[in-house]
Amino acid sequence: MEENLRWYKEKKLDRLCEVLLDKGYLIHRVFSVKDAQEKILSLLNREQTVALGDSWKLMNDEFISKLKEFKFYNRFGEDSEKVKRESLLAEMAIIEGELITEDGQILIVGDYNTSSALFGAENIIVLISENKIVKDLNSGFEKISEHEKYYRMRAEKLQNKNDGLSIGIIENGRKFSKRISLVITTEDTGL
């Protein structure tokens, strides 16, 4: 049964990747979250500054420790608000997409990562997984509404100072050629 499920997920990702390539994204497919972390690290440049957005799957001690080998804006220490502001000037931002539509629009919910993805970094690396594919934007907004308590709890735990939910949408990768890399995993990355 597990083999059939993996085949189904892979086919679903095949269809999505065709759309994403047409929209100008750089695509990197991996199987597991661990593989995704390794791929993300391989895409970084030691000469460029790096910021990490809101992502449960990437905020573990091992990954953060590896990021510290780069010019990393570490917002997990003292004066995190100051570091967050400074990190908006990072050359590379790593974020996790909350959802992705079948036509390739990426929805991002958060404080820091929304700003970073839409306005800040020269290059963006987005982690996304097969389980986050939704039909369209309306389906995405409905799913975000269903999980609003989760997003608010995450914002509180990450000490994001924001009264409401910030939702960003990345329409496509064409506007800035080779700016947005998607690391897509078959393994679920949460909600």
Q: How confident is the model at residue 67 (pLDDT cuts 50, 70, 90)?
A: very high
Average pLDDT, the chain: 85
- pLDDT category at 116 given cuts 50, 70, 90 is low
Q: Closest Cα to residue 76, out of 93, 52, 103, 104?
A: 52
Q: What is the pLDDT of residue 170?
A: 82
Task: Check: CB of residue 175 under 8 Å from CB of residue 117.
Answer: no
Percent residues over pLDDT 70 in the chain = 87
Domain ranges of the chain: 2-185
Structure tokens that stand for 180 in this block: 């947005």
Q: What letter represents residue 25's amino acid?
A: Y
Residue in the block written with tokens 């905020």: 59
User: The whole model's pTM is what?
Assistant: 0.88
Q: What is the CATH number of domain 2-185?
A: 3.40.50.10420
- For residues 126 and 144, give the distance between their C-alpha atoms in angstroms, rounded to a whole number: 18
